[in-house]
Amino acid sequence: MQPAPVNATALIRGMFHSSSGKPQPGMVCFHRIGCKLTLSTAVRKVTSTQALRDFSLQYGEPAGDAGLRQSLSQRLAGINVQASPDQIITTVGATHALDIVSRTLLRAGDCVMVEEPGWAIEFARLEALGMRILPVPRGEQGPDLEVMVRYCESHSPKLFVSVSVFHNPTGYCLSPGSAHRVLQLANAYNFHIVEDDTYSHIAPEHATRLCALDGLQRTIYVSGFSKILAPNWRVGYLAAPSALVERLLDTKLLATLTTPALLEKAMAWCIDQGQLRRHAQRIRTQLDLARARSVKLALAAGCRFATPPAGLFGWVDTGVDTDALSQRMLDEGYLLAPGGLFHARRQPSTLMRINFAPRRRRSSGRPLRGSGGV
Protein backbone atom coordinates (compact mmCIF):
# COMPACT_ATOMS: atom_id res chain seq x y z
CA MET A 1 0.00 0.00 0.00
CA GLN A 2 1.27 3.48 -0.89
CA PRO A 3 2.41 5.26 2.32
CA ALA A 4 0.55 8.40 3.36
CA PRO A 5 2.29 11.65 2.43
CA VAL A 6 4.09 13.75 5.00
CA ASN A 7 1.52 16.46 5.78
CA ALA A 8 0.70 18.75 8.68
CA THR A 9 -1.04 16.06 10.71
CA ALA A 10 1.83 13.63 10.09
CA LEU A 11 4.16 16.28 11.48
CA ILE A 12 1.96 16.58 14.57
CA ARG A 13 1.83 12.81 15.04
CA GLY A 14 5.61 12.73 14.79
CA MET A 15 5.82 15.23 17.65
CA PHE A 16 3.91 12.87 19.91
CA HIS A 17 5.19 9.50 18.79
CA SER A 18 8.39 8.46 17.07
CA SER A 19 8.55 4.92 15.76
CA SER A 20 12.35 4.93 15.72
CA GLY A 21 15.24 6.19 17.80
CA LYS A 22 16.70 8.01 14.81
CA PRO A 23 17.09 11.80 14.50
CA GLN A 24 13.90 13.64 13.57
CA PRO A 25 14.99 16.84 11.75
CA GLY A 26 11.35 17.77 11.02
CA MET A 27 10.36 18.03 14.67
CA VAL A 28 9.10 21.36 16.03
CA CYS A 29 10.09 21.10 19.71
CA PHE A 30 13.13 21.75 21.83
CA HIS A 31 14.43 18.64 23.53
CA ARG A 32 14.26 18.98 27.29
CA ILE A 33 17.53 19.98 28.88
CA GLY A 34 17.87 19.97 32.66
CA CYS A 35 14.27 20.90 33.47
CA LYS A 36 13.02 17.78 35.29
CA LEU A 37 14.04 19.08 38.71
CA THR A 38 12.42 22.46 38.02
CA LEU A 39 9.11 20.90 37.00
CA SER A 40 8.86 18.45 39.89
CA THR A 41 9.78 21.16 42.39
CA ALA A 42 7.16 23.51 40.95
CA VAL A 43 4.42 20.91 41.27
CA ARG A 44 5.39 20.07 44.87
CA LYS A 45 5.34 23.75 45.80
CA VAL A 46 1.71 24.20 44.75
CA THR A 47 0.24 20.86 45.85
CA SER A 48 -0.21 20.92 49.57
CA THR A 49 -2.93 18.53 50.75
CA GLN A 50 -5.54 21.28 51.05
CA ALA A 51 -4.56 22.94 47.77
CA LEU A 52 -4.71 19.64 45.89
CA ARG A 53 -8.18 18.99 47.26
CA ASP A 54 -9.33 22.46 46.23
CA PHE A 55 -7.89 22.10 42.73
CA SER A 56 -9.51 18.73 42.22
CA LEU A 57 -13.02 19.53 43.42
CA GLN A 58 -13.71 22.75 41.55
CA TYR A 59 -13.14 24.35 38.18
CA GLY A 60 -10.46 26.97 37.74
CA GLU A 61 -11.03 30.64 37.04
CA PRO A 62 -12.60 31.27 33.59
CA ALA A 63 -9.75 33.50 32.35
CA GLY A 64 -7.09 31.37 34.02
CA ASP A 65 -5.25 31.40 37.33
CA ALA A 66 -5.01 34.98 38.60
CA GLY A 67 -1.45 34.48 39.87
CA LEU A 68 -0.25 33.22 36.50
CA ARG A 69 -1.95 36.08 34.66
CA GLN A 70 -0.19 38.54 36.98
CA SER A 71 3.15 36.82 36.31
CA LEU A 72 2.48 36.87 32.56
CA SER A 73 1.61 40.57 32.69
CA GLN A 74 4.99 41.30 34.28
CA ARG A 75 6.79 39.04 31.83
CA LEU A 76 5.15 40.79 28.85
CA ALA A 77 6.14 44.17 30.25
CA GLY A 78 9.73 42.96 30.04
CA ILE A 79 9.40 42.76 26.23
CA ASN A 80 7.48 46.06 26.08
CA VAL A 81 4.04 44.51 25.59
CA GLN A 82 1.79 46.32 28.04
CA ALA A 83 -1.06 44.00 29.08
CA SER A 84 -2.89 44.01 32.40
CA PRO A 85 -3.87 40.64 33.94
CA ASP A 86 -7.46 41.37 32.86
CA GLN A 87 -6.31 41.39 29.22
CA ILE A 88 -4.75 37.93 29.49
CA ILE A 89 -6.52 34.59 29.00
CA THR A 90 -4.79 31.28 29.60
CA THR A 91 -5.25 28.49 27.05
CA VAL A 92 -4.42 24.86 26.41
CA GLY A 93 -1.19 25.72 24.61
CA ALA A 94 -0.46 28.41 22.00
CA THR A 95 -2.27 26.51 19.23
CA HIS A 96 -5.46 26.66 21.30
CA ALA A 97 -4.95 30.40 21.68
CA LEU A 98 -4.70 30.79 17.89
CA ASP A 99 -7.84 28.71 17.51
CA ILE A 100 -9.75 30.87 20.00
CA VAL A 101 -8.81 34.01 18.06
CA SER A 102 -9.86 32.46 14.74
CA ARG A 103 -13.19 31.17 16.03
CA THR A 104 -13.98 34.52 17.67
CA LEU A 105 -13.05 36.93 14.88
CA LEU A 106 -13.74 34.85 11.75
CA ARG A 107 -16.52 32.98 10.04
CA ALA A 108 -16.27 30.32 7.33
CA GLY A 109 -15.38 31.98 4.04
CA ASP A 110 -13.57 34.94 5.59
CA CYS A 111 -10.17 35.88 4.17
CA VAL A 112 -7.06 35.54 6.34
CA MET A 113 -3.58 36.74 5.40
CA VAL A 114 -0.86 34.29 6.47
CA GLU A 115 2.88 34.56 5.88
CA GLU A 116 4.37 32.21 3.29
CA PRO A 117 6.41 30.16 3.81
CA GLY A 118 4.60 29.66 7.06
CA TRP A 119 3.61 27.21 9.73
CA ALA A 120 2.13 24.14 8.04
CA ILE A 121 -0.24 23.45 10.92
CA GLU A 122 -1.67 26.97 10.78
CA PHE A 123 -2.50 26.57 7.07
CA ALA A 124 -4.19 23.24 7.78
CA ARG A 125 -6.08 24.55 10.80
CA LEU A 126 -7.50 27.58 8.98
CA GLU A 127 -8.49 25.47 5.99
CA ALA A 128 -10.32 23.06 8.30
CA LEU A 129 -12.31 26.02 9.67
CA GLY A 130 -13.33 27.00 6.13
CA MET A 131 -11.24 30.17 5.89
CA ARG A 132 -9.86 31.53 2.64
CA ILE A 133 -6.08 31.76 2.99
CA LEU A 134 -4.24 34.66 1.36
CA PRO A 135 -0.50 33.84 1.37
CA VAL A 136 1.82 36.81 1.94
CA PRO A 137 5.47 36.27 0.97
CA ARG A 138 7.74 36.67 4.00
CA GLY A 139 11.13 38.29 3.40
CA GLU A 140 14.07 39.27 5.54
CA GLN A 141 12.51 42.56 6.69
CA GLY A 142 8.96 41.29 7.05
CA PRO A 143 5.86 40.50 4.99
CA ASP A 144 5.54 41.73 1.39
CA LEU A 145 3.65 44.98 1.93
CA GLU A 146 2.65 45.43 -1.72
CA VAL A 147 0.96 42.02 -1.70
CA MET A 148 -0.82 42.91 1.54
CA VAL A 149 -2.15 46.13 0.01
CA ARG A 150 -3.50 44.26 -3.01
CA TYR A 151 -5.23 41.75 -0.75
CA CYS A 152 -6.71 44.52 1.37
CA GLU A 153 -8.10 46.32 -1.65
CA SER A 154 -9.49 43.19 -3.32
CA HIS A 155 -10.51 40.84 -0.50
CA SER A 156 -11.01 42.85 2.72
CA PRO A 157 -9.23 40.32 4.97
CA LYS A 158 -10.32 40.13 8.59
CA LEU A 159 -7.05 38.89 10.09
CA PHE A 160 -3.30 38.71 9.51
CA VAL A 161 -1.37 35.89 11.23
CA SER A 162 2.31 36.72 11.76
CA VAL A 163 5.42 35.36 13.46
CA SER A 164 7.54 38.47 14.01
CA VAL A 165 10.46 36.91 15.89
CA PHE A 166 12.35 33.86 14.56
CA HIS A 167 9.80 33.27 11.87
CA ASN A 168 9.01 29.61 11.20
CA PRO A 169 10.66 28.32 8.99
CA THR A 170 12.96 31.11 7.75
CA GLY A 171 14.30 32.38 11.09
CA TYR A 172 13.76 36.01 10.02
CA CYS A 173 12.94 38.74 12.55
CA LEU A 174 10.63 41.64 11.70
CA SER A 175 12.26 45.05 11.12
CA PRO A 176 10.84 48.16 12.87
CA GLY A 177 10.06 49.83 9.53
CA SER A 178 8.04 46.88 8.26
CA ALA A 179 6.24 46.59 11.58
CA HIS A 180 5.20 50.25 11.42
CA ARG A 181 3.84 49.85 7.90
CA VAL A 182 1.91 46.66 8.76
CA LEU A 183 0.21 48.48 11.62
CA GLN A 184 -0.66 51.37 9.30
CA LEU A 185 -2.32 48.89 6.94
CA ALA A 186 -4.28 47.27 9.79
CA ASN A 187 -5.69 50.65 10.79
CA ALA A 188 -6.40 51.74 7.23
CA TYR A 189 -8.12 48.51 6.16
CA ASN A 190 -9.68 47.49 9.48
CA PHE A 191 -8.16 44.06 10.14
CA HIS A 192 -6.71 42.52 13.29
CA ILE A 193 -3.25 40.99 13.68
CA VAL A 194 -2.50 37.90 15.72
CA GLU A 195 1.18 37.75 16.60
CA ASP A 196 2.44 34.26 17.36
CA ASP A 197 5.46 34.67 19.64
CA THR A 198 6.05 30.99 20.36
CA TYR A 199 9.82 31.41 20.23
CA SER A 200 9.98 34.41 22.56
CA HIS A 201 12.09 32.49 25.09
CA ILE A 202 15.07 32.32 22.72
CA ALA A 203 14.53 35.72 21.07
CA PRO A 204 16.98 38.65 21.02
CA GLU A 205 16.42 41.08 23.89
CA HIS A 206 15.15 43.95 21.78
CA ALA A 207 13.35 42.08 18.98
CA THR A 208 10.61 44.07 17.25
CA ARG A 209 7.09 42.98 18.08
CA LEU A 210 3.91 44.34 16.55
CA CYS A 211 2.07 44.10 19.88
CA ALA A 212 4.67 46.27 21.60
CA LEU A 213 4.41 49.01 18.95
CA ASP A 214 0.63 48.82 18.73
CA GLY A 215 -0.11 48.61 22.43
CA LEU A 216 -2.65 45.80 21.92
CA GLN A 217 -5.10 47.91 19.95
CA ARG A 218 -5.41 45.93 16.73
CA THR A 219 -2.98 43.22 17.77
CA ILE A 220 -3.44 40.02 19.78
CA TYR A 221 -0.40 38.39 21.37
CA VAL A 222 -0.12 34.58 21.54
CA SER A 223 2.55 32.46 23.22
CA GLY A 224 3.08 29.44 25.45
CA PHE A 225 5.60 27.20 27.18
CA SER A 226 5.42 23.90 25.30
CA LYS A 227 8.51 24.60 23.21
CA ILE A 228 10.71 25.66 26.10
CA LEU A 229 9.73 23.95 29.35
CA ALA A 230 6.70 21.70 29.77
CA PRO A 231 4.97 20.44 26.60
CA ASN A 232 2.54 18.15 28.39
CA TRP A 233 1.37 20.85 30.80
CA ARG A 234 -0.27 22.53 27.77
CA VAL A 235 -0.03 26.04 29.22
CA GLY A 236 -0.45 28.83 26.70
CA TYR A 237 -2.02 32.26 26.73
CA LEU A 238 -3.17 35.24 24.74
CA ALA A 239 -3.19 38.96 25.48
CA ALA A 240 -5.79 41.04 23.68
CA PRO A 241 -7.39 44.47 23.42
CA SER A 242 -9.76 45.04 26.34
CA ALA A 243 -12.72 45.33 23.95
CA LEU A 244 -12.17 41.76 22.69
CA VAL A 245 -11.43 39.97 25.95
CA GLU A 246 -15.00 38.97 26.83
CA ARG A 247 -15.68 37.60 23.35
CA LEU A 248 -12.46 35.61 23.39
CA LEU A 249 -13.24 34.32 26.87
CA ASP A 250 -16.69 33.16 25.76
CA THR A 251 -15.08 31.16 22.95
CA LYS A 252 -12.66 29.55 25.40
CA LEU A 253 -15.45 28.59 27.81
CA LEU A 254 -17.63 27.09 25.08
CA ALA A 255 -14.76 24.90 23.90
CA THR A 256 -12.90 23.83 27.05
CA LEU A 257 -14.61 25.43 30.05
CA THR A 258 -11.61 26.29 32.23
CA THR A 259 -7.92 25.35 32.16
CA PRO A 260 -6.03 23.32 34.84
CA ALA A 261 -5.32 25.58 37.82
CA LEU A 262 -2.70 23.28 39.31
CA LEU A 263 -0.41 23.40 36.29
CA GLU A 264 -0.99 27.12 35.82
CA LYS A 265 0.04 27.79 39.42
CA ALA A 266 3.12 25.62 38.94
CA MET A 267 4.03 27.60 35.82
CA ALA A 268 3.59 30.86 37.72
CA TRP A 269 6.04 29.54 40.34
CA CYS A 270 8.59 28.74 37.59
CA ILE A 271 8.28 32.29 36.28
CA ASP A 272 8.29 34.08 39.63
CA GLN A 273 11.25 32.14 41.02
CA GLY A 274 13.36 32.78 37.93
CA GLN A 275 13.44 29.09 37.02
CA LEU A 276 12.05 29.68 33.54
CA ARG A 277 14.52 32.50 32.85
CA ARG A 278 17.53 30.42 33.91
CA HIS A 279 16.33 27.41 31.95
CA ALA A 280 15.84 29.56 28.84
CA GLN A 281 19.40 30.85 29.19
CA ARG A 282 20.72 27.28 29.25
CA ILE A 283 18.60 26.40 26.23
CA ARG A 284 19.91 29.37 24.24
CA THR A 285 23.52 28.41 24.97
CA GLN A 286 23.04 24.77 23.99
CA LEU A 287 20.95 25.69 20.96
CA ASP A 288 23.75 27.94 19.68
CA LEU A 289 26.17 25.01 19.89
CA ALA A 290 23.74 22.59 18.27
CA ARG A 291 23.02 25.07 15.46
CA ALA A 292 26.72 25.38 14.67
CA ARG A 293 27.08 21.58 14.47
CA SER A 294 23.98 21.19 12.32
CA VAL A 295 25.08 23.90 9.88
CA LYS A 296 28.40 22.11 9.37
CA LEU A 297 26.61 18.80 8.74
CA ALA A 298 24.18 20.35 6.27
CA LEU A 299 26.91 22.11 4.32
CA ALA A 300 29.03 18.96 4.29
CA ALA A 301 26.06 17.08 2.81
CA GLY A 302 25.96 19.51 -0.11
CA CYS A 303 23.01 21.58 1.11
CA ARG A 304 22.87 25.35 1.33
CA PHE A 305 20.84 27.61 3.61
CA ALA A 306 18.15 29.63 1.86
CA THR A 307 18.14 32.05 4.81
CA PRO A 308 20.83 32.78 7.44
CA PRO A 309 20.63 30.09 10.17
CA ALA A 310 18.95 31.56 13.26
CA GLY A 311 16.68 30.50 16.09
CA LEU A 312 15.37 26.96 16.30
CA PHE A 313 14.99 26.18 12.59
CA GLY A 314 17.09 26.09 9.46
CA TRP A 315 15.57 26.64 6.00
CA VAL A 316 17.74 24.38 3.85
CA ASP A 317 17.92 23.91 0.08
CA THR A 318 18.75 20.26 -0.52
CA GLY A 319 18.80 20.44 -4.33
CA VAL A 320 16.30 17.56 -4.58
CA ASP A 321 12.52 17.18 -4.35
CA THR A 322 11.98 17.11 -0.57
CA ASP A 323 8.48 15.62 -0.87
CA ALA A 324 10.01 12.54 -2.45
CA LEU A 325 12.97 12.64 -0.07
CA SER A 326 10.76 12.86 3.02
CA GLN A 327 8.71 9.88 1.86
CA ARG A 328 11.80 7.72 1.38
CA MET A 329 13.25 8.84 4.72
CA LEU A 330 9.96 8.20 6.55
CA ASP A 331 10.21 4.56 5.52
CA GLU A 332 13.60 4.50 7.25
CA GLY A 333 12.27 6.07 10.45
CA TYR A 334 13.28 9.71 9.88
CA LEU A 335 10.69 12.49 10.03
CA LEU A 336 11.48 15.39 7.71
CA ALA A 337 9.57 18.63 7.08
CA PRO A 338 9.53 19.15 3.27
CA GLY A 339 9.32 22.70 1.92
CA GLY A 340 5.98 22.13 0.23
CA LEU A 341 4.35 21.85 3.66
CA PHE A 342 5.08 25.51 4.32
CA HIS A 343 3.06 26.86 1.40
CA ALA A 344 -0.68 27.36 1.34
CA ARG A 345 -0.98 25.55 -1.98
CA ARG A 346 1.45 22.68 -1.61
CA GLN A 347 3.89 22.40 -4.50
CA PRO A 348 7.18 20.53 -5.13
CA SER A 349 10.15 22.16 -3.45
CA THR A 350 13.84 21.51 -2.87
CA LEU A 351 13.63 23.29 0.50
CA MET A 352 13.37 21.58 3.86
CA ARG A 353 13.06 22.82 7.43
CA ILE A 354 15.38 21.27 10.00
CA ASN A 355 15.33 21.56 13.77
CA PHE A 356 18.65 22.65 15.28
CA ALA A 357 17.77 21.55 18.81
CA PRO A 358 19.98 18.86 20.34
CA ARG A 359 18.54 15.41 20.73
CA ARG A 360 17.83 13.83 24.09
CA ARG A 361 20.77 12.26 25.83
CA ARG A 362 21.51 8.57 25.55
CA SER A 363 21.06 6.39 28.63
CA SER A 364 24.84 6.64 29.14
CA GLY A 365 24.43 10.40 29.58
CA ARG A 366 26.41 11.28 26.45
CA PRO A 367 24.70 13.96 24.33
CA LEU A 368 23.92 13.22 20.74
CA ARG A 369 24.80 15.49 17.86
CA GLY A 370 22.38 18.18 16.68
CA SER A 371 19.24 16.71 15.11
CA GLY A 372 19.80 18.79 11.99
CA GLY A 373 22.20 16.12 10.75
CA VAL A 374 21.01 15.61 7.20
Q: Comparing C-alpha atoms, which of 313, 342, 316, 335 is closest to residue 6?
A: 335
* Predicted local distance difference test score (pLDDT) of residue 7: 58
- Strands of the sheet with 236-239, listed across from one edge: 88-91, 236-239, 219-224, 192-196, 159-162, 111-116, 132-137
Prior bond of 309 cis (ω within 30°): no
Instruction: Estimate the crossing angle of helix 94-105 against helix 242-256, to 10 degrees.
Output: 110
Measure the CA–CA gap between 100 and 216, rounded to whole angstroms.
17
* Predicted local distance difference test score (pLDDT) of residue 24: 57
Query: What is the third-level CATH fold of 40-272?
Result: Aspartate Aminotransferase; domain 2 (3.40.640)
**Which sequence spans correspond to the domains of the chain?**
8-34+276-355, 40-272
* Predicted local distance difference test score (pLDDT) of residue 195: 98
* Predicted local distance difference test score (pLDDT) of residue 323: 86
User: Comparing 8-34+276-355 with 40-272, is the CATH topology the same?
Assistant: no
* Predicted local distance difference test score (pLDDT) of residue 204: 83
* Predicted local distance difference test score (pLDDT) of residue 191: 98
* Predicted local distance difference test score (pLDDT) of residue 364: 37
* Class of the CATH domain delimited by 8-34+276-355: alpha beta
Per-residue model confidence as pLDDT tens for the chain (374 residues): 444 555 556 555 555 455 555 555 555 555 554 455 577 777 777 777 676 667 666 778 999 999 999 999 999 999 999 999 999 999 999 999 999 999 999 999 999 999 999 988 899 899 999 999 999 999 999 999 999 999 999 999 999 999 999 999 999 999 999 999 999 999 999 999 999 999 998 888 789 999 999 999 999 999 998 877 777 788 999 999 999 999 999 999 998 888 988 889 989 988 999 888 888 888 889 899 999 999 999 999 899 999 999 999 999 999 999 888 888 887 777 778 899 989 988 888 999 998 888 554 443 333 333 444 33
Instruction: Yes or no: say if 316 and 298 are a contact pair by the CB < 8 Å rule.
Output: yes
* Predicted local distance difference test score (pLDDT) of residue 205: 76
* Predicted local distance difference test score (pLDDT) of residue 171: 94
- The C-alpha angle with vertex 106 and arms to 100 and 111, in degrees rounded to 5, equals 130
* Predicted local distance difference test score (pLDDT) of residue 10: 58
Prior bond of 117 cis (ω within 30°): yes
